[in-house]
Structure 1
């Protein structure tokens, strides 16, 4: 599903630590080719070490070492401009299947997530976006995957991605959180029952409360390998609203999160 991914790379300490966790995440996602992309921010004053040439030299070494370690093809590219836009454009130009970024918002609180690269890219992308938590736990490739559903069209598209990860007998958990706004309880129950009837290794859980809180809590308690949920928006205007639940989970979850845009073909 995510055979070729664009990985947005910077030189932060968090990214250096995340590189140690990449093998298990890439194995889980089935990535066969990785293109490292660093975007030089031309809006700020740069030092020599921030130049495109310096970045290219560093990425060349990193791509070679990662390729040898991961056993997959790893390429690199340096771009200049607005980070989220350039990463999205790189994915389009390389005809990639998805993007991988790091969310560093956990220790800094909610404010930093707004307007940062991860949120902006989540708004822009028409491709699946894999968000890795800074400082999160090492993913066990054999751990279950979690589908968070609310019965909506984006959730049904995310369901197809979820079922893709079940190949080979991987265990799964379907979670739906009943909030005060939910008015289609019977429909969601039918959809969840249909999934579990077709996959004996999948269990379901129905809880009530805050969708973001319950999804994040369940993901951590079950130590899932991946949280999968749909991203709202099928037009450029709608894309500015990825959905409060998707945004909240992407911001707060300590496990990797895969956002699936509603227009994704799987």
Structure 2
């Protein structure tokens, strides 16, 4: 389902983790990889042809081991804001997934951090896999528990469908809904129960939970309790308020649950 993966590469400590994630996703059908390195104006305001060539050579060197294992690899070097260039190239090349390293608080200035990931989530209509950059690389299998954080709205339908499509690859499946989000949207617990009942018919052995209290905190604590290996959330609308909500929720999940977050836009590719 992720035959073509586009990866944002910045040669930081994020890159080994993204390589590791790619190897795991390769077992799920990855055949083509597009590696993109964007020279940010903050790093080099006016990159010369030599600057671009050096980055291109380094990126090609990183792509060779991937070619050696049979993947089709394209390497692209761009200049400009990483989020805008990644979004533009994602639109041009239509990958099935964007893979990006993400760490909050801006502690590592040479990395693609939370602000880039949040902006890219708003700009792109491609599912975005945010890989948390931990102090220690993860190891072993991590296709155990899949968690969906949904509000049951039409905008979240694509995330629900992604959850269903990925569920056969995981042992445990959990769907979470926050009562506070339902109330804010003028709906009640009965609506949540109905939506979760429909999901139960589509995803075998599904555990469903309605969480109470402040939505973001409640979702994080519940996902942590289930020891989530991946949390799927939907991209909610395009207003400034909802963009901030998307960014804060995704980043809070990354930092609070310490596992990958898959942000699914309202109208992504068919799975």
Relative to the length of structure 1, the TM-score reads 0.84
Instruction: List per-residue Cα deviations over 1:104-143 (Å, max 9, x = no partner).
Output: 216749xx99982111111111111111111174473431
Q: 1:75 deviation in Å?
A: 2.1
Q: 1:95 deviation in Å?
A: 2.2
Rounded Cα–Cα distance in structure 2 between residues aligned with 1:138 and 1:238: 39
- Residues 33 and 251 of structure 1: CA distance in aligned 2, closer, same or farther (over 3 Å): farther
Aligned match of 2:157: 156
Rounded Cα–Cα distance in structure 2 between residues aligned with 1:169 and 1:245: 25
Aligned match of 2:193: 189
Aligned match of 1:32: 31
Aligned match of 1:144: 145
Is 2:16 aligned against 1:16?
yes
Residue among 211, 223, 226 paired with 2:227: 223
Confirm or deny: 8 A CA contact 2:192 2:210 kept in the other structure.
no
Give 1:1-266 correspondences, 5 Å limit.
Answer: 1-27=1-27, 30-42=29-41, 44-45=43-44, 51-68=51-68, 71-105=70-104, 108=107, 116-135=115-134, 137-138=138-139, 140-167=141-168, 170-179=171-180, 182=183, 183-233=187-237, 238=239, 241-242=242-243, 244=245, 247-253=248-254, 254-266=258-270
Relative to the length of structure 2, the TM-score reads 0.82
How many pairs were matched up? 259
Q: 1:156 deviation in Å?
A: 2.0
Rounded Cα–Cα distance in structure 2 between residues aligned with 1:192 and 1:19: 35
Q: What RMSD over aligned residues (CA atoms) do the two structures have, in Å?
A: 3.1
Q: 1:52 deviation in Å?
A: 1.1
Rounded Cα–Cα distance in structure 2 between residues aligned with 1:212 and 1:184: 18
Confirm or deny: 8 A CA contact 1:226 1:257 kept in the other structure.
yes
Could you say which structure has the higher helix fraction? 2
Provide the secondary structure at the position in 2 that maps to 1:176.
strand
Instruction: List per-residue Cα deviations over 1:199-226 (Å, max 9, x = no partner).
Output: 3321112221222223323333333231
Provide the secondary structure at the position in 1 that maps to 2:168.
coil
